[in-house]
């Protein structure tokens, strides 16, 4: 029996919270951390893993013999893999990541090659009868966009990956979807931008014809195939930072017929009304590793900043509401002088509890290592297990309330 949430969706956490770029490191973090979480959450059941594979680890697993060995190791430990985080290509811990996390982006051939390797890997690891998903960069970092021609090039690159996913479905009987993850300051930043890109580019006549040509499918099947194999990874922290309710984002994507193969369950930082004391305390969340995009709302207007230090240096208006892209444990509603965006997450979980084809649910609190010490004073495995139980409890409460 596979570990599932109460509504038969796959639930896991993303291993990008653990350092590990090489395959040897991935094996180590599975033994050290993932098995400890499994013991706490599902000691007597198979446990689904949301693997983050950097290019180094993915390339090592592109060797068929190494891949079969890794799959056997997972199975021996009662683990299986159904989703991959294909967003960060290289180093992701203990070094300056910032805007480099988006490189190579979908304007570069290396992003296509890397994602195709991930698809081959997941096509082997994925249990028969379980859908797979690969989350990825939402095009590129917005300042790196090179005009309309680049938009079309990114579209075509994504279609070429979809063609591989179609081939995997035909040859291996495994369904995998690519999931673009909108994020502040990216080409796809808001849900509206994502919907527009899908409608005007990915589902366009040109995109359908390209898929017909590269995947050898009937023209009448092109749009349906695209809608099955490419969609959006809805990160609830990212939506909240943009002052979008995740539930509203979900419903907007559903109304547009855009698939949501994966929801990343995450919470960001919120200051309801900025005070000098709160803004001064916020400096503790400014680190040299990750980009913490910040959106400030004052008098109905949104001001966006690429990173927290830039926002703090902008002569902030007192009383404004701040949202910061800093993933904090989803079970924390308050963090000293701050709140999390947990209250935005709960209505979406309530709705997903009764969705028949629920997307993959993946807790993603990758910033654990740079959280102020006061908020990470427990072992990381205990915190992850608590986050997973928080999700299970929220889903259970939603189902019980509608019984």
Q: Which residues pair with 363 in a beta bridge?
A: 13, 265
Both tokens assigned to 269:
């930082």
- For the stretch 355-390, pLDDT in tens is 988 999 999 999 999 999 999 989 999 999 999 999
Phi, psi for 29 (deg, rounded to 5): -70, -30
Q: In this structure, is residue 292 part of a structural domain?
A: no
Residues 6+ apart with CB under 8 A from 190: 182, 242, 244
Provide the pLDDT for residue 340. 98
Residues 6+ apart with CB under 8 A from 75: none
- Count of alpha carbons within 13 Å of 91, Cβ hemisphere only? 9
Series of mean pLDDT values for 10-residue runs along the chain (403 residues): 62 97 98 98 95 98 98 98 98 94 98 98 96 98 96 98 98 98 98 98 98 96 98 98 98 98 98 97 96 97 97 95 98 96 98 92 96 93 97 90 68
Provide the pLDDT for residue 3. 57
- Count of alpha carbons within 13 Å of 342, Cβ hemisphere only? 16
d(C-alpha 184, C-alpha 321), whole Å: 16
Q: Which residues pair with 132 in a beta bridge?
A: 176
Range of the domain at 52: 11-268+342-401
d(C-alpha 96, C-alpha 87), whole Å: 16
Q: In this structure, is residue 276 part of a structural domain?
A: no
Instruction: Answer yes or no: pTM beyond 0.85.
Output: yes
Residues 6+ apart with CB under 8 A from 151: 139, 145, 187, 197, 201
For residue 266, the SS3 value is coil
Q: In this structure, is residue 293 part of a structural domain?
A: no
Contact call for residues 274 and 316 (beta carbons, < 8 A) = yes
Compute the Cα dihedral for 210, 213, 216, 220 and give only its sign: positive
Q: In this structure, is residue 182 part of a structural domain?
A: yes
Residues 6+ apart with CB under 8 A from 288: 96
Q: How many residues does the chain have?
A: 403
Chain-centre distance for alpha carbon 299: 31
Beta-sheet pairing, 294-298 with 301-305 = antiparallel
Provide the pLDDT for residue 1. 36
d(C-alpha 323, C-alpha 216), whole Å: 46
Q: In this structure, is residue 352 part of a structural domain?
A: yes
Provide the pLDDT for residue 400. 82
Q: Which residue has the tokens 């195939």?
A: 225
CA distances, 128 to each of 50, 80, 147 (Å): 17, 11, 41
Contact call for residues 291 and 304 (beta carbons, < 8 A) = no
Provide the pLDDT for residue 94. 87
Number of structural domains in the chain = 1
CATH number, position 71: 3.20.20.150
Count of CB atoms within 10 A of residue 51's CB? 29
Both tokens assigned to 198:
């899908």
């Amino acid at each position: 029996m596979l570990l599932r949430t109460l509504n038969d969706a796959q639930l896991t956490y993303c291993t990008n919270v653990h350092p590990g770029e090489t395959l040897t490191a991935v094996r180590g973090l599975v033994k050290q951390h993932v098995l400890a979480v499994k013991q706490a959450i599902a000691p007597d059941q198979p446990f689904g893993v949301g693997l983050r594979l950097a290019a180094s680890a993915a390339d090592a697993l592109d060797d068929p013999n190494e891949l079969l060995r890794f799959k056997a190791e997972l199975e021996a430990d009662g683990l299986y893999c159904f989703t991959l985080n294909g967003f960060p290509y290289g180093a992701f811990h203990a070094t300056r990541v910032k805007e480099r996390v988006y490189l190579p982006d979908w304007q570069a051939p290396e992003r296509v090659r890397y994602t195709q390797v991930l698809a081959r890997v997941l096509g082997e690891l994925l249990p028969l009868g379980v859908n797979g998903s690969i989350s990825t960069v939402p095009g590129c970092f917005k300042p790196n966009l090179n005009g309309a021609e680049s938009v079309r090039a990114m579209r075509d690159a994504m279609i070429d990956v979809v063609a591989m996913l179609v081939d995997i479905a035909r040859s291996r009987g495994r369904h995998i979807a690519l999931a673009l993850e909108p994020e502040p300051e990216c080409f796809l930043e808001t849900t509206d931008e994502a919907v527009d890109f899908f409608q005007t580019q990915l589902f366009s006549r040109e995109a359908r014809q390209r898929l017909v040509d590269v995947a050898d499918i009937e023209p009448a099947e092109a749009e349906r195939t695209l809608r099955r194999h490419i969609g959006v990874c809805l990160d609830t922290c990212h939506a909240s930072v943009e002052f979008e309710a995740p539930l509203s984002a979900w419903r907007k994507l559903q109304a547009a017929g855009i698939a949501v193969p994966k929801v990343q369950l995450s919470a960001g930082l919120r200051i309801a009304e900025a005070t000098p004391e709160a803004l001064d305390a916020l400096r503790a969340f400014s680190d040299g590793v990750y980009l913490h995009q910040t959106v400030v709302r004052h008098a109905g207007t949104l001001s966006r900043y690429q990173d927290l230090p830039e926002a703090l240096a902008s002569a902030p208006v007192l009383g404004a509401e701040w949202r910061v892209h800093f993933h904090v444990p989803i079970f924390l509603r308050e963090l000293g002088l701050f709140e999390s965006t947990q209250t935005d997450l709960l209505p979406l979980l309530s709705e997903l509890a009764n969705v028949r084809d629920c997307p993959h649910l993946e807790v993603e609190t990758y910033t654990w290592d740079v959280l102020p010490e006061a908020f990470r004073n427990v072992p990381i495995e205990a915190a992850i297990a608590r986050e997973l139980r928080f999700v299970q409890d929220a889903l259970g409460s939603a189902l019980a309330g509608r019984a």
